Amino acid sequence: MNNYLITIIGPTAIGKTALSIKLAQHFGCDIISCDSRQFFKEMKIGTAVPNTAELASAKHHFIQHISVFDNYSVGDFETEAIAKLNELFKENNIQIMVGGSGLYVDAVLKGFDDFPEIDATVREEINAKFDEFGIDYLQNTLKELDAVYYAKLLSENPQTLQNPQRMKRFVEVCLGTGKPYSSFIGLRKNQRNFTPIIIGLEADREKMYERINLRVDLMLKEGLLEEAKALYPNKQLNALQTVGYRELFNYFDGKTTLDFAVEEIKKNTRRFAKRQITWFKRTENAKWFDYQKDINEIIKQINIEIQKN
């Protein structure tokens, strides 16, 4: 395979966008965004969408291409991103992907495991029990039916245990097949027509937190409060259950002060960054660089990886 997908990973506010643009200009290629929060056209400021100058500096794909009212899954993204890459590789055998959504990165690099179709009545039953008993029902059922996968989530990705949509899927597979969800993982090997070259950006924790706090302050200056207020009437939408908006919705509800909401955004963004680091540090064959590393050193490493293949 002589196609290469340079994939830039790392926590929020670390400088992934700036690096991706410099690399796209150097290699004369496009950028695939896999930041799931930046897909939504109504969520610009709070998701740190590249600004007008940045978008003009390199061709971007999957930036603000859908609405918060659309149903759009990671599977939809995988299908569309692979199709777009196949198209782009015809013009240039080097392309770039960038983003902080680990699941979406994995979807493009590795694809999904092959799960059987589940009878719709199983889903209806799970929804009914969730409505009655809440997230505890999903957690307890998964723990009972697939203790291995439950333990894996608890240790590696505990926030998923609080995600009703994903937890319903895990339980659905267990109940619908009579087998643990984990038993289906790894059964299908997805074929890709490219070699990934994975570049990770990192910083010491103090510097990372400082950058996050400054970014939140900048978002507020740019109009995050007004953006969140416009979205507030639809606060129940799944796309809006995210850091930067939830906290301001609580402020609009009269549950907190604005100052408290802002501090919560900073705190929860720092927690989000820690979860991103945990996820990405498991990525095989990633080459990690300090966020201030000279780009020529990163390009040198990329060229070494290309020559290996």
* Distance (Å) of CA 259 to CA 130, 268, 307: 34, 14, 52
Radius of gyration of the chain (CA): 20
**Is residue 154 over pLDDT 80?**
yes
Output the known binding site for ATP: 10-17
Q: Read off the pLDDT of each residue in 282-309 and give the average, rounded to a whole number.
A: 94
**Is residue 273 pLDDT above 80, yes or no?**
yes
The two three-digit tokens of residue 127, written as one number: 């929804």
Instruction: Give the per-residue pLDDT at 188.
Output: 62
CA dihedral 35→40→46→50, nearest 10 degrees, is 60
In this structure, the chain runs to a length of 309
List residues forming the annotated binding site. Answer: 10-17
Of the candidates 230, 235, 271, the residue with the CA atom closest to the CA atom of residue 255: 235
Quote the CA–CA distance of 58 and 22 in Å, as a whole number: 9
Mean pLDDT of 163-176: 92
Residue 249 has pLDDT above 70, yes or no: yes
> 125-134, 208-217, 224-233: lowest mean pLDDT where?
125-134
Give the whole-angstrom CA distance, residue 87 versus residue 7. 17
Identical fold between 4-112+190-308 and 120-184? no
Give the whole-angstrom CA distance, residue 147 versus residue 174. Answer: 11
pLDDT for position 39: 96
CA distance linking residue 77 with residue 108, whole number of Å? 8
**Percent of the chain clearing pLDDT 90 (strictly above):** 80
pTM, 2 dp: 0.80
Q: What is the pLDDT of residues 201-227, one digit of tens each?
A: 999 999 999 999 999 999 999 999 999
Other CB atoms within 10 A of residue 174 CB: 23
Domain ranges, ordered by start, for the chain? 4-112+190-308, 120-184
What are the respective helix, strand and coil percentages of the chain, to the nearest 5?
Answer: 60, 10, 30
CA–CA distance, 196 with 163 (Å, rounded to integer): 29
Could you report the per-residue pLDDT of 21-75, keeping only the tens digit for each? 999 999 999 999 999 999 999 999 999 999 999 999 999 999 999 999 998 888 8
- The residues, ordered by sequence, that sit 6+ positions from 253 with a Cβ below 8 Å of its Cβ are none
Question: Binding site for substrate: what residues are annotated?
Answer: 12-17
Element (H, E) at 131: helix 120-133
pLDDT tens digits for range 102-115: 889 998 998 877 77
pLDDT, tens digit (0-9, with 9 covering 90-100), for 8-35: 999 999 999 999 999 999 999 999 999 9
| Domain 120-184 classification at class level | mainly alpha
CATH of span 4-112+190-308: 3.40.50.300
Dihedrals φ, ψ of 9, to 5°?
-125, 165
Q: How far is the C-alpha of 181 from the C-alpha of 212, rounded, in Å?
A: 36
Distances (CA, A) of 213 to 153, 265, 273: 28, 9, 12
